């Protein structure tokens, strides 16, 4: 009468995009997440800058020549890219797509504008915005970096506030009050997304087929 087949797990992975204003601590949270989450793959960026000592191609970055990078842009093989201090940086589409196709979840840590570009290409991704506990706290983190003048700080805070306004395009917002709590929230969001009805329906479709036999 009933099928002995249980929940299937053959399913595409989930793309998680972690973003937020400069100074909010995206890198720190992502590093901590990496240490406690072996089930998430971390996207590797491409760059045209020279490898530093110890950096490994395909691990720290995909190192590309300017010509290679420009070709990847032309072939729509970059989910997003930007030029910074004379070098290109970007997210190769292939690594992300291959990871998702293998059923593994992948996380991109990326600045706010880049994340919105990724959203155009992967609207089904899970977009998480990292918030400071308060604007004062964000300001003190920016000041705390050291040598910035008051004008630079004011300008960076102004950019940060504009970036926070872009949070409306995201699915979730989490407060980075403590790094371990922020990590737990991201893990909870991933667990919840894995339990979304649409994902689960496709996993038990064979039950219904079996019963109808």
User: Cα–chain-centroid distance for residue 193?
Assistant: 15
By CB under 8 A, tell whether 149 contacts a copy of itself: no
Give CA separation, 13 vs 29, 96, 149, 213, in Å: 21, 10, 44, 30
**Residue 13 annotated as binding?**
no
Residues 76-135 that bind a copy of itself (CB under 8 A): 128-129, 131, 133-135
Q: Interface with a copy of itself by CB under 8 A: which range of 47-55, 84-92, 101-109, 203-211?
A: 203-211
By CB under 8 A, tell whether 145 contacts a copy of itself: no
Pick 7 or 85: Cβ nearer a copy of itself: 7
By CB under 8 A, tell whether 173 contacts a copy of itself: yes
Q: Interface with a copy of itself by CB under 8 A: which range of 12-20, 37-45, 63-71, 172-180?
A: 172-180
C-alpha radius of gyration, the chain, whole number: 20
Candidates 35, 144, 197, 213; binder of a copy of itself (CB under 8 A) is 197
**Residue 3 annotated as binding?**
no
Pick 111 or 210: Cβ nearer a copy of itself: 210
Residue with tokens 């530093």, as numbered in its chain: 52
The size of the interface with a copy of itself (CB under 8 A), counted in residues, is 48
By CB under 8 A, tell whether 207 contacts a copy of itself: yes
**Which phi and psi angles does 39 have, rounded to 5°?**
-90, 0
Q: How many residues make up the chain in this entry?
A: 213
Q: What is the rounded distance in angstroms from the CA atom of residue 50 to the CA atom of residue 29?
A: 26
**Residue 54 annotated as binding?**
no
DSSP state at residue 17: E
Nearest one of 10, 12, 203, 18 to 107, comparing CA atoms: 18
User: How would you class 2 by CB atoms within 10 Å of its CB: exposed for 0-12, middle for 13-18, buried for 19 or more?
Assistant: exposed
Least distance between a copy of itself and beta carbon 91 (Å): 22
Give CA separation, 98 vs 14, 15, 39, 104, 175, in Å: 12, 11, 16, 9, 31
Q: What is the rounded distance in angstroms from the CA atom of residue 104 to the CA atom of residue 41?
A: 7
By CB under 8 A, tell whether 200 contacts a copy of itself: yes
Candidates 40, 78, 138, 183; binder of a copy of itself (CB under 8 A) is 138
Binding site for a copy of itself (CB under 8 A): 1-7, 128-129, 131, 133-139, 154, 157, 161, 164-165, 167-168, 170-175, 184-185, 187-189, 191-193, 195-197, 200-201, 204, 207-208, 210-211
* Binding-site residue positions for ATP: 20-27
């Amino acid at each position: 009468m009933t099928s002995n087949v249980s929940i299937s797990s053959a399913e595409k992975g989930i793309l998680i995009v972690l973003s937020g204003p400069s100074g909010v601590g995206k890198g720190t949270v992502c590093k901590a997440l990496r240490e406690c989450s072996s089930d998430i793959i971390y996207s590797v960026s491409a760059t045209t800058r020279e490898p530093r000592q110890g950096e490994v191609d395909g691990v720290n970055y995909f190192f590309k020549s300017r010509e290679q990078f420009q070709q990847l842009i032309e072939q729509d093989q970059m989910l997003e890219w930007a030029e910074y201090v004379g070098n290109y940086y970007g997210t190769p589409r292939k690594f992300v797509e291959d990871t998702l196709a293998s059923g593994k979840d992948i996380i991109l840590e990326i600045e706010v504008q880049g994340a919105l570009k990724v959203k155009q290409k992967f609207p089904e991704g899970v977009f998480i915005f990292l918030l400071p506990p308060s604007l004062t706290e964000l300001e003190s983190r920016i000041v705390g970096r050291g040598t910035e003048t008051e004008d630079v700080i004011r300008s960076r805070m102004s950019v940060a506030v504009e970036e926070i306004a872009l949070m409306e395009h995201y699915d979730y917002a989490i407060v980075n009050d403590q790094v371990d709590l922020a990590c737990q929230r991201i893990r909870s969001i991933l667990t919840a997304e894995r339990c979304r009805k649409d994902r689960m329906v496709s996993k038990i479709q064979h039950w219904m087929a079996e019963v109808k036999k």
